[in-house]
Structure 1
Amino acid sequence: MLEISSHGAIREIRLARPPVNALYPPLLAPLRDAVRAAPEDGMQGLVIAGGPNAFSAGLDVPYLLTLDRAALLDAWRVFFETAQAIAESPIPVVAALAGHSPAGGCVLALCCDYRVMARGPFRIGLNEVQVGLAVPEGIQHLLRRVVGAYRAERLMVAGAMLESEEALAVGLVDELTDVDHVATRARAWLEDLLARPLRPMLETRRLARADLVGALTDPQRLDLDRFVDNWYRDDTQAVLHALVARLKK
């Protein structure tokens, strides 16, 4: 479910679970491990790509609804481990968003250094509220740090999904390009960054991203047990099952 290729010192990891790259442990664990392996293999930059219609549609809700509590906790834990691996990667990471990026897809993108999105009717955002879930504090921090506190509040409380042009205007993504050139532009940004003196660039990056790493490594800010408790609330289950019913039509 991953396609991995190298372009000089830049590695590209492409999500390949049709039709929408829905996230679940058999995809997330290899992604987590591939992100960690890239710098160990001597890579200096990393692109995480997905498409053509969805970078990732987020967590695989139909799958998650089949799990008991212990397995559900494990599944969410693997997701957050993957986000952490991206956030704390010692090399810069670019998200190549050749399609929609709701919920978990948006979270992974926010963990990256830079986001290149396809221009067009594609949407991105933390829409958890619309599917009956509250956004944990650690994830809220990811959005606040890129669009500002007030705008992040308005977007998350509404569960808003922004089309690409609006996402660029508010700073949620950094660049738009043709859908066929998203990964190419992601590599180009990395090549330009890597042309700078490497050690001071990486050290400055590490310091600048310390808050990002902290938001994802502090158990109290993710509060996974409470998140899973809320998953089993009657109102949340009703919304999730209604979502699955719509997906089956």
Structure 2
Amino acid sequence: MTIETRDVDGGVRILTLNRPPANAINAELMNDLHTVCEAAKNDGAVRSVIVTGSGKFFSGGLDLKMLTTAAQGGTGSGFGSKDGVFSLWTLSKPTIAMVNGHAIAGGGIILLACDVRIAARGNAKIGLNETAIGLPLPTGAFEITALALSNRQARTIMLDAELHNPDRARDLGMLDDVVEPSDLERVCIEKARLLGSYSQPAYAHTKRLLQQHAVDAVVTETDAQRRATFDVWTSPETMQALMKQLSGISSSGLKK
């Protein structure tokens, strides 16, 4: 299991992404995230959920080795309606991203899939840099981003494709708050307890109404739409950029 679970008083369940060194997203982590979100949804004792990462990363994004293998094999990869990120995004209970470190690309999507996003002050890099390496966001990731941000913020985050420190990420709308590292867990748990104290049916209904249009766009995505994204992912220019990224990862020992 690539995700650890821990319960604290007040009906709060903490999910910790634990796939060193960067908590990069692969098929196993996606499946595990789906499993733990379904468990939280069906557990009446769980009132709210916190998502965080182990080590210095919240998540470094999609495992590029998996992505290049998928692209070369013609299988594709993305945030669709049957994966863990979708399960987190549509979880009817309050969700809080406790951003302990770097949240890059797909890691930023996990962050944006949460209802509330709080980060530790510091030098962590946060952002969606997919466009910079030739990867348009799949429909699921796009809808998560577009719903979480204003149109102007989404354009800046997706098209500038830059990585930001937590304070700048807050200014751009990716984060709701930035706190001292020593206060991060306490603040997130307090927020989770507060939201968890609300009427669950009312919270779930309101959240569903807010998300419905975006969720519909994901679940009704056509094969032609998926193919259009996949064609860009597998273009020679994109594959060259991915191989360059992988070369850098191999040299540094870190997943970007």
State which of 207, 221, 224 in structure 1 corresponds to 2:226.
Answer: 224
List per-residue Cα deviations over 1:81-108 (Å, max 9, x = no partner): 2121012111111111101111111111
Residues in 2 aligned to 1:238 and 1:179: alpha-carbon distance in whole angstroms: 38
When normalised by structure 2's length, the TM-score is 0.87
One-letter amino acid of the structure 1 residue matched with residue 59 of structure 2: S
Contact 2:93 2:196 (C-alpha < 8 Å) held by counterparts: no
Which segment is superposed worse, 111-120 or 145-154? Answer: 145-154
Question: Secondary structure of the equivalent of 2:203?
Answer: helix
Secondary structure at the counterpart of residue 91 of structure 2:
coil
Moved more, 14-23 or 4-13: 4-13
**Aligned match of 1:112:** 114
Residue 254 of structure 2 corresponds to none
Identity of aligned residues (%): 24
Between the aligned partners of 1:10 and 1:34, the Cα distance in structure 2 is: 13
Equivalence map 1:132-211=2 (5 Å): 132-211=134-213
- Equivalenced residue count is 248
Q: C-alpha separation between the residues in 2 aligned to 1:131 and 1:92?
A: 33
Structure with bigger helix share is 1
Q: Which moved more, 1:113-122 or 1:214-223?
A: 214-223
Q: Deviations over 1:180-220 (max 9, x none)?
A: 44333222111112233343233223222323433433314
Query: What does residue 237 of structure 1 align with?
Result: 239
Cα distance 1:141–1:82, how it changes in 2: closer, same or farther (>3 A)?
same
Question: Does the alignment pair 1:62 with 2:37?
Answer: no
Q: Which residue of 1 aligns with 2:102?
A: 100
Amino acid corresponding to residue 5 of structure 2 in structure 1: I
Q: Specify the alignment match of 1:246 in structure 2.
A: 248
**Contact 1:138 1:222 (C-alpha < 8 Å) held by counterparts:** no
Is 204-213 or 49-58 further displaced after alignment? Answer: 204-213
**Which is worse superposed, 201-210 or 86-95?**
201-210
Q: How has the CA–CA distance of structure 1 residues 12 and 221 changed in structure 2, closer, same or farther, with 3 Å as cutoff?
A: farther
The alignment partner of 1:13 has SS state of strand
Query: Does the CA-based 8 Å contact 1:119-1:176 persist in structure 2?
Result: yes
Corresponding residue for residue 19 of structure 2? 17
Tell me, what secondary structure is at the counterpart of 1:12? Answer: strand
Structure 1 spans left out of the alignment, 5+ residues: none
Separation in 2, partners of 1:77, 1:143: 12
Q: Contact 2:80–2:139 (CA<8 Å) still a contact in 1?
A: no
- 1:35 aligned to 2:13? no
2:55 partner amino acid: P
Q: Secondary structure at the match of 2:25?
A: coil
Specify which structure has the bigger relative contact order, considering alpha-carbon pairs within 8 angstroms and separated by 6 or more residues.
Answer: 2
1:53 to 53, 56, 80: 56
Name the SS of the counterpart of 1:150 in structure 2. helix
Paired amino acid for 1:6 = D
Aligned with 2:97: secondary structure?
strand
Q: Which moved more, 1:64-73 or 1:42-51?
A: 64-73
CA distance in 1, matches of 2:74, 2:223: 21
- Quick one: which amino acid aligns to residue 65 of structure 1? T
C-alpha change, 1:67 and 1:201, in structure 2 (3 Å) is: closer
For residues 94 and 5 of structure 2, the distance between their equivalents in structure 1, rounded to whole angstroms, comes to 17
CA distance in 2, matches of 1:72, 1:183: 38
Task: Flag the 1:213–1:182 CA change in 2: closer, same or farther, 3 A.
Answer: farther
Q: Aligned residue for 1:5?
A: 6
